[in-house]
A = this chain, B = another copy of it.
């Protein structure tokens, strides 16, 4: 096909690449076998003609867009159902790029996302055996469509504040679900509006006149034959958003709605026929799922960064603007060092998040396996780690995606670049599954305890043991190498932890109680958590990338090491203020790091396109006029514009209705 001819710029860039792109593709997939399997799934989905749109989603009305997403989502399920009959698809519940092909079906979020993402896992993990037998298979095979309804109109992160009640009635052996106020309406769950016929509802459990806190219930909300909301159910959609337009987020209210006793998920706590409440053996057992989701978010962000990087880097290689020297032809914008400064840290960050996410996943798996053996000791540490990593990585990813978008100038503002949609997806992660500031303060609680232990000389858990090392250290010795940087960031984290700890003490001395003092010092507490998280990110990224670079061919290893070094130095320069406070780094050291940084940019320059090619995001999943493999940027921009229904007619009806009368009434 003439269409797939690659533009000269990208051909030249690919010829410059010093490493084997295929090798890096396998590294990112976690092995050649994984790459092969991913491509199989992608082929199945991307080659299905039922999944193509004539008119791009963005032109449709809100309602049409939803209907189109349901149509395609159902087809996707049929394909994957068939696939799962021949293959083990349980790997979908681990960090993997194998199933990211959904972006090749619905550009934005699928209305079915919470079915597999939260409904099925909750049924799987919180039901007792009998309940699981009853519901799980039907759920997995899409015999019902479910979602997870926790957040309410007036209540988000603070789960204890939820208002929906589930009151046990021993006479009928039923729970009565009720929404006592407007603010108690469930609000936000994806797919809840018009898609799901079942959901998990989190509600305050009352029995025998007593409240036992929030518990999950399995609730049918729509008739299976007619899809009509059942009597006592008020359900609908919450309206358009910044992104997630096709997620079908809904609201849900109950009017004394009755469900059988056995619809309470009873793996942990239970209510007996007579209304007796049996407590869960351990409160923390329900904790795991929350941590699980946050761990996966870190690797999801790595993937979104790889999509945005692919778009911005390829566009920067194709786009020409201005002259580096007078009289020369306009140069590729990727040759501007300011552009490299915007782009390359984003590539490095994608790798940093991928390796850190996998490291976190291993830690999570170990803790879950220990929990199976009755050992819960490491859960608080894992929880503290997952909180700050989810928080900081979502913020960083958002900043990087925005920088990629801005690096594409005006065209990055076009929907057809797909950067606005990626931006909408990534920015949402800062808020959902635990709002940034709330999570950072959770980690800060852990840090304050750890600091107290450090001052008392108690033994520390691994991820905070560095605090002891810098306990008495006023300013750590700086050195201009990677170990020096890792040490410097740990010293900053220790210093800020100490400062926050002392700020609380200061406010207490002024007469505040602990919680008031905590609030007054909370800006510093968030800073301490961030610094702790940066120390982790820096250390883990360096260690894991270094290990990786030693396992691969020397030519690739060198590039991976450069990326890791760029990541470390970028943050050294970014956080030089903190390093000046807590290490002996000097103005000269900083100037030196700046030089090394500029040198690294020029070293990475010839491999930029190769590095994003290695993310191996197919055009159908990238959905971008600016980022396609062939680099036909301008042709695609114009082709996409031609699809606008407004362009189907030379004159829009509004001319005759409004414009002509307006102009003819002008006093000439």
Which of A's residues lie within 8 Å of B, judged by CB?
56, 58-64, 66-67, 70-71, 73-74, 77-78, 137-138, 141-145, 151, 153-158, 161, 182-183, 185, 187-188, 193-195, 224, 226-229, 236-244, 251, 319-326, 330, 335-339, 341, 402, 405-406, 409-410, 412-416, 419-420, 423, 427-428, 430-432, 435-438, 441, 499, 503, 513, 515-516, 519-524, 526, 575-581, 587, 590-591, 594, 597-598, 602, 634-635, 637-638, 640-647, 650-663, 665-668
Q: Which DSSP category, helix, strand, loop or mixed, fits chain A's interface?
A: helix
Instruction: Give the chain B neighbours of A330 by CB distance below 8 A.
Output: 158, 161
Q: How far does the alpha carbon of A497 sit from the alpha carbon of B431 in the complex, in Å?
A: 39
Subset of 20 A-B contacts with CB under 8 Å: A60-B61, A62-B645, A63-B652, A143-B663, A143-B668, A145-B659, A153-B634, A153-B637, A161-B321, A161-B330, A236-B641, A239-B644, A242-B415, A322-B438, A325-B516, A338-B441, A341-B523, A413-B431, A499-B591, A523-B597
- The quantity of this chain's copies bound in the complex is 2
A160 shortest CB reach to chain B, Å: 8
Which of B251, B415, B577 interacts with A638 by CB under 8 Å?
Answer: B251
A84 shortest CB reach to chain B, Å: 11
Given contacts A227-B651, A594-B524, contact A144 B430 (CB under 8 A): no
Instruction: Give the chain B neighbours of A154 by CB distance below 8 A.
Output: 319-320, 634
Contact B662 A161, beta carbon cutoff 8 Å: no
Closest to A602 in B: B520
Given contacts A143-B663, A591-B499, contact A66 B241 (CB under 8 A): no
Contact B321 A650, beta carbon cutoff 8 Å: no
Instruction: Give the chain B neighbours of A63 by CB distance below 8 A.
Output: 59, 644-646, 652
A524 shortest CB reach to chain B, Å: 7
A59-B62, A237-B646, A499-B591 known; 11 other A-B pairs, CB under 8 Å?
Answer: A67-B653, A143-B668, A157-B409, A187-B637, A188-B410, A227-B659, A236-B647, A242-B423, A337-B521, A338-B526, A580-B580
Contact B580 A239, beta carbon cutoff 8 Å: no
Contact B193 A646, beta carbon cutoff 8 Å: yes
Given contacts A436-B406, A651-B226, contact A641 B59 (CB under 8 A): no
Instruction: Give the chain B neighbours of A145 by CB distance below 8 A.
Output: 659, 663
Given contacts A581-B587, A662-B77, contact A238 B414 (CB under 8 A): yes
Closest to A339 in B: B437
Instruction: Give the chain B neighbours of A638 by CB distance below 8 A.
Output: 153, 182, 185, 251
Q: How far does the alpha carbon of A77 sit from the alpha carbon of B402 in the complex, in Å?
A: 36
Which of B435, B598, B654 interacts with A67 by CB under 8 Å?
Answer: B654
Contact A409 B431, beta carbon cutoff 8 Å: yes
Q: How far does the alpha carbon of A499 sit from the alpha carbon of B56 in the complex, in Å?
A: 49
Instruction: Give the chain B neighbours of A224 by CB distance below 8 A.
Output: 663
A621 shortest CB reach to chain B, Å: 20
Contact A64 B66, beta carbon cutoff 8 Å: no
A322 shortest CB reach to chain B, Å: 4
A539 shortest CB reach to chain B, Å: 21
Instruction: Give the chain B neighbours of A338 by CB distance below 8 A.
Output: 437, 441, 522-523, 526
Q: How far does the alpha carbon of A59 sit from the alpha carbon of B67 in the complex, in Å?
A: 13
Given contacts A59-B62, A647-B237, contact A413 B441 (CB under 8 A): no
Which of B513, B522, B576, B666 interacts with A325 by CB under 8 Å?
Answer: B513
Given contacts A321-B157, A410-B151, A428-B413, contact A227 B71 (CB under 8 A): no
Q: How far does the alpha carbon of A667 sit from the alpha carbon of B406 in the complex, in Å?
A: 48
Closest to A64 in B: B61
Q: How far does the alpha carbon of A145 sit from the alpha carbon of B236 in the complex, in Å?
A: 42
Instruction: Give the chain B neighbours of A657 by CB distance below 8 A.
Output: 71
Closest to A643 in B: B239
Contact B241 A660, beta carbon cutoff 8 Å: no
